[in-house]
Structure 1
Amino acid sequence: MSGHAALDALAAACGVLPEFIDLWGQERVTPPDTKRALLRANGLAVDSDAMVEEALADLRQRDRTRIAPPEVVGVAGTPTIIETRGPVEWRVLLEEGGLHEGSAEGPLTLPPLPDGVHDLVLSRPGQHQRVTLILAPARLPSVPSVTGQDRIWGVTAALYGLRSGRTAGLGDYEDLARLAETFGQVGAGFLGVNPVHNWGWATPEAISPYSPSHRGYLNTAHIAVDCVPGLDTHPEARRICAEVQGAAGQGALIDYAAATGAVRRALTKLYALFQSSAPAPAQAAFDRFRAAGGDGLDRFAQFEALSERHGGDWRDWPEALHDMSLPSVVSEAAPLAKRRAFHMWLQWVADHQLNAAQTRAQAAGMLPGLYLDLAVGPRRGGAETWSERDMVADGVSIGAPPDQLSPGGQAWALAAMSPVKLARTRYRGLRGILRRTMRHAGILRIDHVLGFNRSFWLPDDGSPGAYMRQPMQALLAITAIEAARAGTVVVGEDLGLVPPGFRESMAERGVYGYSVLQFEKDDNGRFRPPEDLRPQSLACFATHDTPTLNGYWSGADIGWWRRLGWGAADAGDDLIARRETEKQALLDAIGPTGGQDVFCRVHAALARSPAAMVAVQLDDLLGVTEAQNLPGTTDEHPNWRRRYETPVEAIAASANVRIAADLMQGAGRHLSTTIDCEDQP
């Protein structure tokens, strides 16, 4: 076999897609250099043709001699049929303990077993094989099963941008709880926020919620310093909290350095006070949290402590500290035991406050409650890639080819998860991330869920990006297991270049899609009427990555494109003319219901759609024009920095809050009264 043929065969066998169709319908072929880079990322040695042929031969030999597939995905509670080669003895070691065993002459039929990731051991004379057996519920939790309602509505907001007089200038978990109570009282079923993943103590400059240090742990910059358990009424704690209030000012843009600096100084003092003065029940609760966190929490805290000494990117640390299993890591971490305990305490406080926000949301009538967001990946030098390195692809990052959100394509500088390594570790790291994120989430939005099918990898060596196939059925099953245990509804953000059949496969398993009205067009480019939106979806007008309603109507996003010099110099006029045409086409599609006001017409249309969930952006409720984020930019646009003008305490009195609630109620989402937008001020 020629070198090129062997490379093509190996790449195909390992999931490197040979081509893809781009935004303009053109076929993009994956070049040889990219194939080698993506294979290396999965741990294969392919630096020469001989090495490629050796790897291919080894792969084919394993396929010829194995008894059964190395991984089997089935449905919990039903028999699982597995094709085997010849008669076998089998044993299933259940995840939660317990043993089932037997023998089979031909295809193996396992009895109904509970959900989980189990060990299946197959034996025949002279040979044993271990199979990963993933059994999941047939479908994920649904809106009706969780809420008792067929159609609900809620609000999405930027947590960092919430304004109140009690904070340093960055929205916190107490603001989240109060906002949830506000919207729960007017009939909303959920409150969604940007990811609350950990940023990293030593990287205060990392402000994007979609570029976290670790997705399995919480952002401590959002801790409400005046609500630390055990110190709520302590006089010294009150004095410390008073120093924080307003430390970053109240300008239109957040001063992150001032805000996070003030919060961190306060938390350092509060931890010392907690150690010396907190009541025994609070101390015991922290001890239980620390014990339950196990090795994962310890590894995370170890990274945080080491980062204070060496910086927030472990790739810049001394080589001896790159691998956490090395004795040098253990010896250096030992003197940092007090700092590790501090970072565990921060996670306990954040977890306690997020749990309280969910409890208060549901007490206010909000079901499912909090709607949290899972970022597509972590920063490459952060805590997750250090502590969960056995699932990270080497020498690549993830992004997206040109699509509707960013015609220039995107490079996210985030770590990719290797399908080979995920399978080898039985998805342990990913399961932990899902479990911890779902713990306080009535709904979980998975950002760029297209990555469950294929992930666009950008090699560090500069070769063109290409798609790596992912183990979609296994990833769906893992998600279903954790969602069922947590009682969490899952929404998959499925915008971009969608492979044929992908949305149908996700829907079949119970994942809700994402219907963004400004992108909802048929094959002829016409806007779909509201009644044609997918019933099994969350519908909204905009997201954090798109223009707000006011921004879309005024062309604010086009203004940014012009300002940044994107496209031809004369393209701006064409874009404005096209936007005017689109606006009228959208209004024609949604019809006259709701009067003349654009906010009312758009949200009345969403309310009456068959979509199971409708999200109203807080930005649109408050009449914000500028978007939270402009994809394809970092510092050119004030991404993630805008603060809402209206304080949390005053949001309930905003006119559009009552209007939106009445529109949703009038369409049968929770309540039953109606209102005419023409009568509103």
Structure 2
Amino acid sequence: MSNTSAPSSAPPDDDLRRLAEAHGVATEFWDYTGQHRPVTAAAIRAVLGALGVPAGTPEEVRAALVEAELAPWRAPLPPSVVVRAGREHEVPVHVPDGATVTVHVDLEDGGTWPLTQQDLWVQPRDVDGHRTGRATFVLPADLPLGWHELVAQVDGTQTHRAPLAVTPDRLAEPRLATGRGWGVMAQLYSVRSAQSWGVGDLADLAELTGFSGELGADFLLINPLHAAEPTGPMTPSPYLPVTRRFVNPLYIRPEAVAEVAYLPGPQRALVEWAAEEVRPANTTNDPIDRDAAWAAKRRALEVVYQAGRSRSRQRSLERFRAEEGHGLEDFALWCALREHYEGQEWPAELADVRSPFVARARRELADRVDFYVWLQWVADEQLAHAQRVARESGMGLGVMHDLAVGVHPGGADAWTLREVFAHGIGVGAPPDMYNQQGQNWSQPPWRPDALARTAYAPLRDMARTVLRHAGAVRVDHILGLFRLWWIPDGMGAGEGTYVRYDHEAMVGVLLLEAARAGAVVIGEDLGTVEPWVRDYLAERGVLGTSVLWFEKDQRGYPLQPQDYRRLVLATVDTHDLPPVAGYLAEEHVDLRERLGLLTEPVTKVRLEARTERERMFARLRDHGLVGADATERELVEALHAYVVRTPALLVGVSLTDAVGERRAQNQPGTDTEYPNWKLPLADGAEQVVLGEDLPGSARLLSLVAAVRTALGEDDRLAP
């Protein structure tokens, strides 16, 4: 794309503005202070270029405007159609002027549904030298939910097809025994047992769901389990995975694989020796070493894999492999290639997953591909077991997964789905009160046009896989289904612009997969949110997120319980804040001062923190939840009781609050300066708390009793 000589700060002209709007690229926005901010022409051109739209010169812009206007007329059917059930929808069909056309729907269950043409005349147009007309057909309101196919027949000789998704108008609210529900929130990697391999795993998850269910919890919200690099160093952040569809095999418990029971003595010894290398770490408060844990587990899992499987177990693996299809095969190949070229740059000819060079690598690395497929099957079995334990223990929902907002730019998704991602772009956030330079998360965004062309397959496949063994999913930064802040390479985080997505289609696809799984969807809608977005999500049955410390009235005082939204998951804190004990001790201020993250004088920040705390204490006293000299434990319980007094449909209790932990799992704005996502579960004295310790934790049982009492439930807990 050619560049103009205009200054980088120059605003767009009218033609460039119209072109940007035609492709969902914002030319202006309102910042966190309420100020109107124009977007520079340079940023708009760069974003349009990443969308495949030439806009470097006035001539290119004018040509692209014509193309944008004619593009819908060039294809008989839209690339894909996503509609809501219970409503009529119009579908435009473009055919040679004067041709006859009929349209029907091939239902996914094998049926056929003819469509009626609407008596609506549209002026024909000249498209590439051909006179083209538009016929409008009506999709009836009573089409069943599902993935169907539109079929148009022109003059009885030409057939054209397009995917059709009929999605729920509104996702049903969860059916909980008492109408409302509460649950536990935990970072799974941090919750270890005596038998863990230095990191919390899926066997620990099953134990934790069973215990939480015995306490009366309806769900267990855990960190994203998305896959990370198969070779070190493994990215510690669960929010920067290599793929969001598949699971990190780090979470597999090797001894829980069925074949281990039948290993001969020498092979069984190899598994046990590998565990012995890392098991002592379970009782230390050192940062979790994922690389050491995975190195030991991989050696053990290699032994189990090589031992083979029974005929029925092999058939089960093959069925799983067939169901997951090309997505699994390509991910496993990426893992095999990453392993093969460990520490080296890949040859350029491997950049395209469909190239003959990649096909050859697939053959040459077939055994390693098989191994990585097997790992996903094993992880899937252990996840299924954890969800089964959760439901059998009485949980209304069970496991609640967390879905990260994006993926690593050098990861598997970026390679296997290359055509769906925008290149030369990072996703982030514009400047706000916490990050005055803006943020660049270095994650490539999906292209809205490519999603439509693929019938939203990346979103659909990801949601279907994540929800397979879950009762709910929390979508991190759900605003990304509406718009994302795109930052062109070479520009500052504050120099980007918003790109809008077809939220009606994106949310619809997510809800269809959730409805099929019988799952609840929670959207993390914190921060600067356009008011209509929250209304829209509530209308579709998507729960929002409320965090006690962030919910304030116009004067800056804590929001009264009755003023909270009902359709939310309400919590006291998040993983980006210290647990309550640390927050009350101002450790979030101390830490940011120590790391040089403060943008204002520490005295001012500390005064604001104390004012916020005192206002909260006053609110608790107003509601009769604490006395004048409340202890730390009483304050923790009172804050949770306050949240329970809101109408929130779901209430979350952090496991770190329950055991008295003071340290945050993540400190935004840091990388190596703080052990983000590496802290094992510990109490206020930084003594490690193992999974076996939880049933005997007086502090945990007291907090749960307080929550259940506030909910009006029986506060007698299972022994």
TM class by shorter chain equals over 0.9
Alignment partner, residue 150 of structure 2 = 120
Matches within 5 A, 1:265-414: 265-273=299-307, 275=308, 278-311=309-342, 316-403=345-432, 406-414=435-443
Give the SS at the match of 1:490: strand
Q: Which residue of 2 aligns with 1:42?
A: 51
Query: Which stretch of the first structure deviates more once superposed, 18-27 or 405-414?
Result: 405-414
Find the aligned partners of 1:292 and 1:322 in 2 and give their Cα distance. 26
Residue from 604, 609, 625 that aligns with 1:593: 625
Alignment of 1:659-674 (within 5 A): 659-668=702-711, 671-673=713-715
1:74 maps to what in 2? 83
RMSD over aligned Cα, in angstroms? Answer: 2.5
Structure 2 vs 1, CA of residues 61 and 82 (structure 1 numbering), >3 Å: closer, same or farther?
closer
Do the aligned residues in 2 keep the contact of 1:538 with 1:611 (CA within 8 Å)? yes
- Checking the alignment, whether the CA contact within 8 Å between 2:105 and 2:115 is kept in structure 1 is no
After TM superposition, the structure 1 stretch with the greater mean CA deviation from structure 2, 537-546 or 558-567, is 558-567
Which structure 1 segments of 5+ residues have no match? 676-681
Amino acid at match of 1:665: R
Match in the other structure for 1:10:
19
Q: 1:394 to 1:26 in 2, by over 3 A?
A: same
List per-residue Cα deviations over 1:595-614 (Å, max 9, x = no partner).
Answer: 53211110111122210111
Candidates 566, 590, 598, aligned match of 2:597: 566
State the match for 1:258 in structure 2: 292
Supply the distance in 1 between the matched residues of 2:271 and 2:596 (Cα, whole angstroms): 45
The structure-2 alpha-carbon separation of the partners of 1:133 and 1:212, relative to structure 1 and needing over 3 Å to count, comes to same
- Residues 317 and 450 of structure 1: CA distance in aligned 2, closer, same or farther (over 3 Å): same
- TM-score normalized by structure 2? 0.88
1:100 to 105, 113, 123: 113
Is 1:651 aligned with 2:691? no
Which AA in structure 2 matches 1:661?
Answer: V
User: Structure 1, residues 186-218: CA drift from partner, whole Å, max 9, x if none?
Assistant: 101111110001112134331210010111110
1:244 maps to 2:244 = no
Alpha-carbon spacing, 1:348–1:69, altered in 2? closer, same or farther (3 Å): closer
Hey, what does 1:439 align to over in structure 2? Answer: 468
Q: Which residue of 2 aligns with 1:576?
A: 606
Deviation at 1:259, TM superposition (A): 1.5
Amino acid at match of 1:328: F
For 1:124-143, what per-residue CA distance to the aligned partner results, in whole angstroms no more than 9, with x for missing partners?
77998766533111112322
Cα deviation, residue 243, structure 1 = 1.8
Total equivalences in the alignment = 665
Could you tell me how far 1:399 is from its partner in structure 2? 1.2
AA of the residue aligned to 2:272: A
Paired amino acid for 2:660: G
Query: What code does the residue aligned with 2:671 have?
Result: T
The equivalent residue for 1:452 is: 481
Q: 1:281/1:66 Cα in 2 relative to 1: closer, same or farther (>3 Å)?
A: closer
Per-residue Cα deviation, 1:277-311 (whole angstroms, up to 9, x for no partner): x4333233222222222211111111111111224
2:475, 2:522 within 8 Å by CA — same for their partners in 1? Answer: yes
Q: 2:246 aligns with which of 217, 239, 246?
A: 217
AA in 2 matched with 1:14 = H
Map of 1:546 onto structure 2: 577
Q: How many Å separate the matches in 2 of 1:322 and 1:209?
A: 25
Q: Secondary structure at the match of 2:531?
A: coil
**What's the CA shift for 1:245?**
3.3
Q: Deviations over 1:317-354 (max 9, x none)?
A: 21111111111110122111110100011001111101
The answer as to 2:652 corresponding to 1:621 is no
Query: In the superposition, relative to structure 1, how do residues 520 and 209 fare at CA in structure 2: closer, same or farther (>3 Å)?
Result: same
CA contact (8 A) 2:243 2:412 kept: yes
**Bigger shift: 645-654 or 67-76?**
67-76
Which position in structure 2 is the counterpart of 1:90?
103
Change beyond 3 A, Cα 1:124–1:286: closer
Which stretch of structure 1 is more off in the superposition, 452-461 or 479-488? 452-461
CA distance in 2, matches of 1:342, 1:415: 28
CA distance in 1, matches of 2:709, 2:696: 20
CA distance in 1, matches of 2:460, 2:363: 28
Structure 1 residues 415-424 or 595-604, which shifts more?
Answer: 595-604
Pair 335,550 (structure 1): closer, same or farther in 2 beyond 3 Å: same
- Inter-CA distance 70–352: structure 2 relative to 1 (3 Å threshold): closer
- Structure 2 residue corresponding to 1:141, chosen from 172, 175, 179: 172
Pairwise CA distance, 1:572: 0.8
Q: Provide the rounded CA distance (Å) in 2 between the counterparts of 1:321 and 1:47.
A: 30
Contact 2:259-2:304 at 8 Å conserved across structures: no
The partner residue of 1:29 within 35, 38, 57 is 38
1:665–1:674 Cα contact (<8 Å) kept: no
Distance change in 2, residues 1:422/1:592 (3 Å): same
C-alpha separation between the residues in 2 aligned to 1:79 and 1:631? 46
| Distance in 2, Cα, partners of 1:88 & 1:333 | 44
Greater RCO (CA < 8 Å, at least 6 residues apart): 1
3-state SS, counterpart of residue 245 of structure 2 = strand
Please list the CA deviations of residues 56-103 of structure 1 after superposition, one character each: whole Å capped at 9, or x if unmatched.
111112356778876544222554344779995322233454332244
Q: Distance in 2 between matches of 1:490 and 1:405?
A: 28
Asked if 2 retains the 8 angstrom alpha-carbon contact of 1:198 and 1:212, the reply is yes
Find the residue that maps to 2:246 and give its secondary structure. strand
Any idea what the Cα deviations from partners look like across 1:224-256, whole Å, max 9, x if unmatched? 011012323645464234223353424321122
Give the Cα–Cα distance (whole angstroms) in 1 for the partners of residues 31 and 716 of structure 2.
45
SS in 2 for 1:143: coil
Using the TM superposition, give the Cα deviation of residue 589 of structure 1 relative to its aligned residue in structure 2, in angstroms. 2.9
- Tell me what 2:132 maps to: none
8 Å contact 1:117–1:426 — kept in the other structure? no
Partners of 2:192 and 2:437 in 1: CA distance: 34
Is the 1:405–1:546 contact (alpha carbons within 8 Å) kept by the matching residues of 2?
A: no
| Gap change, CA 1:544 and 1:405, over 3 Å in 2 | farther
Alignment correspondent of 1:678: none
Contact 1:166 1:246 in 2 (8 A): no
Counterpart in 1 of 2:179? 150
Cα distance in 2 for residues equivalent to 1:401 and 1:3: 19
Distance (whole Å) between structure 1 residues aligned to residue 12 and residue 482 of structure 2: 28
Closer, same or farther: CA 45–202 of 1 in aligned 2, 3 Å: farther
Contact persistence 1:79–1:113 (CA under 8 A):
no
Letter in 2 for 1:672: D
Give the CA deviation at 1:523: 2.8
| CA separation of 1:312 and 1:281: change in aligned 2, threshold 3 A | farther
Which shifted more, 396-405 or 376-385? 396-405
Counterpart of 1:399 in 2: which secondary structure? strand
